Structure 1
Amino acid sequence: MEQDEIQFAKSLQSLAADLSSSIPDLSISYFFRYLVELKKWNKAINLTAIDDDREVLVKHFIDSIAGLKVIDINDETELLDVGAGAGFPALPLKFVRPELSVELLDPNEKKGAFLRYVVGTLGLVGATVATAKLEDYASRGNVQARFDYIVVRAFKVDECGLALSTLLKPDGKLVLYRAERVPRGFELTGLALIEEVEYELPAKYGHRVLSVFSKSSG
Structure 2
Amino acid sequence: MTPEGEQLLRDGLGALSIVPSPEHIQQFGRLHDLLVQRNSQVNLTALKTEHDIVLKHFVDSACCLRGGHLEGDLRVIDLGTGAGFPALPLAILNPELWITPVDSIRKKIDFVRDAAEQLDLSQVQPLIGRAETLGRDPVHRGRYDRVVARAVAALPVLVELALPLLRTGGLLVAQKGAIGEDELDAGRRAAAEVGGEVIAAEPFELPLLGDARSLIVVAKTRPTPRAYPRREGVPTRQPLFWTAK
Same fold (TM over 0.5): yes
Alpha-carbon contact 1:19-1:201 (below 8 Å) kept: no
Q: Within 5 Å, which residues of 2 pair with 1:14-163?
A: 14-70=11-67, 71-74=69-72, 76-156=73-153, 158-163=156-161
Q: Distance in 2 between matches of 1:32 and 1:101?
A: 22
Q: Distance in 2 between matches of 1:159 and 1:201?
A: 24
Residues 99 and 67 (structure 1 numbering): CA distance in 2 closer, same or farther, change over 3 Å? Answer: same
Residues 17 and 159 (structure 1 numbering): CA distance in 2 closer, same or farther, change over 3 Å? Answer: closer
1:196 paired with 2:201, answer: yes
Q: Deviations over 1:38-64 (max 9, x none)?
A: 111112222211111112111111111
Q: Secondary structure at the match of 1:46?
A: coil
**Structure 1: 5+ residue stretches without partners:** none
Q: Distance in 1 between matches of 2:145 and 2:177?
A: 24
Residue matched to 1:177: 175
Alpha-carbon contact 1:58-1:205 (below 8 Å) kept: no
Q: Distance in 2 between matches of 1:8 and 1:159?
A: 35
Residues 112 and 29 (structure 1 numbering): CA distance in 2 closer, same or farther, change over 3 Å? Answer: same
Letter in structure 1 aligned against 2:186: F
Alpha-carbon contact 1:116-1:128 (below 8 Å) kept: yes
Q: Secondary structure at the match of 2:14?
A: helix
How far did 1:205 drift? Answer: 4.3
- Runs of 4+ aligned structure 1 residues displaced above 3 Å come to 157-163
Alpha-carbon contact 1:24-1:96 (below 8 Å) kept: no
Q: Deviations over 1:66-94 (max 9, x none)?
A: 111132321x2111100000111111011
Sequence identity percentage: 27
Letter in structure 2 aligned against 1:206: D
Q: Secondary structure at the match of 2:28?
A: helix
Q: Secondary structure at the match of 1:63?
A: helix
Between 6-15 and 205-214, the greater mean CA deviation after superposition: 6-15
Q: Deviations over 1:83-136 (max 9, x none)?
A: 000111111011011111100000001111111111111121211011011111
Residues 182 and 141 (structure 1 numbering): CA distance in 2 closer, same or farther, change over 3 Å? Answer: farther
Between 174-183 and 152-161, the greater mean CA deviation after superposition: 152-161
How far did 1:14 drift? Answer: 1.6
Alpha-carbon contact 2:168-2:222 (below 8 Å) kept: no
TM-score by length of 2: 0.81
Residue matched to 1:12: 9
Residue matched to 2:227: none
Q: Deviations over 1:7-52 (max 9, x none)?
A: 4332211221233332232211111111111111112222211111
TM-score by length of 1: 0.90
Residue matched to 1:186: 186
Q: Secondary structure at the match of 1:161?
A: helix
**Structure 2: 5+ residue stretches without partners:** 224-245
How far did 1:182 drift? Answer: 4.8
